[in-house]
Amino acid sequence: MMTMNRSVLWTLVNTVVVLHLVSGCGRHGHDHGRPKSGPVRLGYVGGPHAAALYVAEEQASRGGHAPAFAGVPFNASGDIGYALIAGEIDAGFIETAKAAALLRSVNGLVAVGAVTFPYGATLVLRKDLDLRLDGLAGRTVAVASRRCRLLHQFLADTERHGVNPSSITLAPMPFDHMIPALEARKADSILTRGGHALLAVAQDHKILYQNWDVTGDDECCPKTLAQVELVLVTRAKGVGARRVKALVSALEAGSAAPADILRAAVSVRTRIPLAVLEPFPVASFTALTPEQQTELGSAGTVEEEDDHDCGREGCDH
């Protein structure tokens, strides 16, 4: 009996699910594409990158007016993509690489905003180790790529401190695999971006080196999407341009709050101590530029609301 690689099998299963969800049929297809009233159902994964969302929710609760969105928590941004396609939510924050793949493979989705966080170059040491930079010889350091600007900056800085770069064992892996590698003791330390470093420190791992002056202009830290950690994706039909505009405005207002307010909101919602958050910048939300939308593969715009009632029988709109 012929066997099939598990990853190939899951790819086929996911493809079938996506095709089924995108195609839709009958009344559900019409309801899926019909603009709705009320707050936008916004999918998100809780954590430091949700700072603007947390503060925007607080601002809406104090403002005495109808909120622009209702937050729907998820455990992973990949689940948000499926929920968005299925019409279970109206918009959602998805990790940049996953958002780009989704936008290029599924029609009818539009990227409208982004959560940004300074790249930085941060070496995070596993929580059970007690080392200095000069103790990295023979140790395994997870890196995004041997050609990554973060690595170039790190090696230059460590060499100035008397560390021989060739004595360090480099283990290339995606950024989102690095913290699990620390937890599983498959890496002694990770060289990662600022946003991932904050998440690692929140899990009690330790910072050994940090340089916030790194700028993006390569494969692991692209210039156009500089510092974009999450992309706000919505549907072109069925949500409505005015509602999406109100959502973006609410998140921008939340992001404009002072840094101490943003950190306090994150601390309350995530239980991450302020002492962990304070050495780091805060995540910011901003609308995407046309150049960034093009880089992500986002085409088209969110359509305006249609007052025609497509809920009745025989509706062809």
180 and 273 fall within a common domain: no
Is 308 inside a domain boundary?
no
177 and 138 fall within a common domain: yes
Closest CA to 39 of 55, 60, 25, 54: 60
Could you read off the pLDDT tens digit of each residue along the chain, which spans 317 residues?
334 443 443 344 355 444 444 444 333 333 444 446 799 999 999 999 999 999 999 999 998 778 999 999 999 888 999 999 999 999 999 999 899 999 999 999 999 999 999 888 899 999 999 999 889 989 999 999 888 888 988 999 888 888 888 999 999 999 889 999 999 999 999 999 888 999 999 999 999 999 988 766 666 667 667 689 999 999 999 999 999 999 999 999 999 999 999 999 999 999 999 999 999 999 999 999 999 999 999 988 999 865 444 444 444 44
State how many domains the chain has.
2
Give residue 12's pLDDT.
41
48 and 16 fall within a common domain: yes
Residues 33 and 75: their CA atoms lie apart, in Å, by 26
52 and 98 fall within a common domain: yes
Give residue 308's pLDDT.
45
133 and 232 fall within a common domain: no
21 and 89 fall within a common domain: yes
Closest CA to 47 of 285, 287, 271: 271
Q: Note down the domain range covering 171.
A: 121-211
Give residue 21's pLDDT.
44
Closest CA to 291 of 196, 218, 209, 223: 223
158 and 284 fall within a common domain: no
106 and 234 fall within a common domain: yes
| pTM of the predicted structure, to 2 decimals | 0.81
Please report, for the domain that includes residue 57, its CATH number.
3.40.190.10
Give residue 299's pLDDT.
86
Give residue 140's pLDDT.
96
110 and 232 fall within a common domain: yes
Residues 135 and 214: their CA atoms lie apart, in Å, by 24
